[in-house]
Structure 1
Amino acid sequence: MKKHQFIFLIAFLVFAVGNVYSQNYKQPIPAIDAQGKVTDAKGKHIGWVTSDGTIKDAAGVKIAHIDDQGNAVDAATGKSMGKAAKNGTYLYYVQSGAADSLTVSNPMNGTCEVKDKNGNTVLSVHENYKQYGACALHCLQMKNEHKDMKMK
């Protein structure tokens, strides 16, 4: 009887340890879904992005758009805040006057990952919004944090 209990205990431990390692412990990240809805890491709706590059806050107020040359243009001032490249990379201006960027991966299962310069994933974006997703996230986060964006 002891032998059966021991075997049962070993089998249970193997099963339990296997399940622990298979769970996903990734930190939640902001996302843009197939309808263009932008949510923060906590799942709160913070805005919208359209397939033509218009970026709106959660109330539906236009805060920026991407022009024909790929420039992110502030809706209030008309000044450029950055450049959205064709591959989805977003080059934005920072307060020091330098530029920083977010890069976008190729689509996998309909979504792309947006990564910062350190390779950390900062956004999951539906492939329909690959070109504007990084830009939309940056604009909406800056607005929600009440930070001024560096503009040219």
Structure 2
Amino acid sequence: MKTKNLTMIAIMFLMILISSGTYAQNYKQPLPSIDANGKVIDAKGKHIGWVTSDGIIKDATGAKIAHIDDQGSAVDAVTGKKLGKASKNGTYLYHVQSGASDSLTVTIPMNGICEVKDKSGKTLLLVHENYKQYGACAMHCLMIKNEHKDMKMK
């Protein structure tokens, strides 16, 4: 009888541990990410490009689509026009078709990963701390290219 009670307690404890772990995982809202090697993955898990530690942004085929210049501006590789501004803290100010500007901010690293958030505080991207400065810029450029959209350039 005593072993039966211990078995029941062990099973209940195990069930509590398993159920609490399922709440911590977010399967419904996967986020795009940039790993420690600079590989950019979209929310569906598809490899869409690369970012290098010196600010060069490439698509999945390896073709250069943009780079960050000495002033921190994101520059289109084909036209040479500015797409936005990547600040030293990882904040990225970008230009949209309407002519207005919007920004993405980057949190401090937690376990080597930073969150990129929009102005409402919604997390849009997880980026390895090695690419904190260029991560938001790279994701924005690659998403625009993959969706075949135009954006206002200065």
Quick check: 1:119 aligned with 2:121? yes
Alignment equivalent of 1:90, drawn from 65, 89, 92: 92
- Partner of 2:45 in structure 1? 43
Aligned equivalents of 1:146 and 1:16: distance in 2?
Answer: 47
Q: Once the two structures are aligned, what percentage of the paired residues are identical?
A: 70
Deviation at 1:108, TM superposition (A): 1.5
Q: How many residues align?
A: 151
Quick check: 1:19 aligned with 2:18? yes
Matched AA of 1:114 = V
Q: Normalization by structure 1: what TM-score? A: 0.89
Deviation at 1:148, TM superposition (A): 0.7
Residues 98-107 or 20-29, more deviating: 20-29
Alignment equivalent of 1:59, drawn from 58, 61, 76: 61
Q: Normalization by structure 2: what TM-score? A: 0.88
Structure 1 stretches of 5 or more lacking a match?
none
Equivalent position SS for 1:86 = coil
- Partner of 1:149 in structure 2? 151
Matched AA of 1:133 = G
The runs of 4+ residues in structure 1 deviating greater than 3 Å are 3-15
Structure 2 stretches of 5 or more lacking a match?
none
- Partner of 1:78 in structure 2? 80
Residues 6-15 or 64-73, more deviating: 6-15
Quote the RMSD (CA, aligned, Å): 1.8
